[in-house]
Structure 1
């Protein structure tokens, strides 16, 4: 049974990743040192999970009630380029850089001037396929993939290298799945590179070896050397 699982998993993985051919544009600064020795670092380091903050371009659903009655209807509101939202009665509210809880408290304080004991509800509106900006960040997928560019991190924050490549349309027919690289920012002046062997992961069905990506990671799929 275990062998059957491995066979099915590997077949699905290879089929979904290698059937698309894409353009050849590659970021030189990533590719230039493909053959360099990759430092051994923890592929999934512990990091502090923090609440996402509101940014320009995010969509937020906001409603305000008082005594069980709706005072402000829950409708989607886009954060403007200035980091503001427009609300009934109180006008524009600066919210960029705030967490949802902070914005909720601010709205309740502002609406308390007009409504007795207001209760605000605030939530992000986000769909992975909706083309919007993820409040949980993005990763950049480059190299031999069908659609180079940013990939949104879902609310579950469980985006792996394999999933990111699939969301980028899969790999091209010349992709080197045995040496996919993840470049991760460690500090303002330091970046480390992690090598991921997706070929081995697929072959043995060991998805625990797939790395969970962090915001601003760069995934690079090099070309196979014939």
Structure 2
């Protein structure tokens, strides 16, 4: 009788030990999964042999850059108005040569100017007719100063150049490259406005992120297309 009770106790202890062991394994597995998820970074390899890092990126594109360093370009649509003067409230499209025409002033060159610079020029030109004129200048639609980033990027599309922007910055605006991108075969397509011919400029992402051949990280021009195969 005593032997049977002792054996039952041993069996109960063994079963309890197994349950505790299973619980510990479950807890350890859960902790590993939580740690992996919390990191938010998933390294993966692509054909270039360089590890690509996938992160969640939110891209914000300023569709009407009325502040900062945006330079007005041909094709952009502007709104210029003078407070209290109904005849001096106009929506204008910047011409191919960069010019606009405004009442009392005549022709103005808007190309390459910021909103603040153009506002100051309009106010100065109007001062002989309307002293202390309250002039407002805004960009209604950006047409001329855009680039396209296409292919294996996380947010392909059309992006506004609000200042000097190089290839790496444009790729960043598009959310970065995907894990499937051919990093050594990126191309910039650029069209000559005079001849309408197009040339292809190569870009090796793998070299640039290692600090090599940095000269290829060129400044983009309006109308350029960055293709990530």
Are the structure 2 counterparts of residues 53 and 212 from structure 1 closer, same or farther at C-alpha, using a change threshold of 3 Å? closer
Structure 1: gaps of 5 or more residues = 1-13, 22-50, 57-78, 126-131
1:210 aligns with 2:224: no
**Alignment-derived partner of residue 84 in structure 2:** 89
**Alignment-derived partner of residue 199 in structure 1:** 206
**Alignment-derived partner of residue 171 in structure 1:** 177
**In structure 2, C-alpha distance between the alignment counterparts of 1:110 and 1:120, rounded to whole Å:** 10
User: Any idea what SS the aligned residue of 1:173 has?
Assistant: coil
- Work out whether residues 20 and 172 of structure 1, in 8 Å CA contact, stay in contact via their aligned partners in 2: no
Are the structure 2 counterparts of residues 205 and 171 from structure 1 closer, same or farther at C-alpha, using a change threshold of 3 Å? same
Deviation at 1:219, TM superposition (A): 0.1
**Alignment-derived partner of residue 150 in structure 1:** 158
Deviation at 1:180, TM superposition (A): 0.3
Deviation at 1:205, TM superposition (A): 4.6
- Work out whether residues 139 and 151 of structure 1, in 8 Å CA contact, stay in contact via their aligned partners in 2: yes
More helix by share: 2
**Alignment-derived partner of residue 146 in structure 2:** 138
User: Any idea what SS the aligned residue of 1:93 has?
Assistant: strand
1:118 aligns with 2:132: yes
Structure 2: gaps of 5 or more residues = 1-49, 57-70, 95-99, 101-109
Q: Report the TM-score, using the length of structure 1 for normalisation.
A: 0.51
**In structure 2, C-alpha distance between the alignment counterparts of 1:146 and 1:199, rounded to whole Å:** 18
Are the structure 2 counterparts of residues 136 and 186 from structure 1 closer, same or farther at C-alpha, using a change threshold of 3 Å? closer
**Alignment-derived partner of residue 19 in structure 1:** 54
**In structure 1, C-alpha distance between the alignment counterparts of 2:81 and 2:196, rounded to whole Å:** 38
Q: Report the TM-score, using the length of structure 2 for normalisation.
A: 0.50
- Work out whether residues 119 and 135 of structure 2, in 8 Å CA contact, stay in contact via their aligned partners in 1: no
- Work out whether residues 82 and 133 of structure 2, in 8 Å CA contact, stay in contact via their aligned partners in 1: no
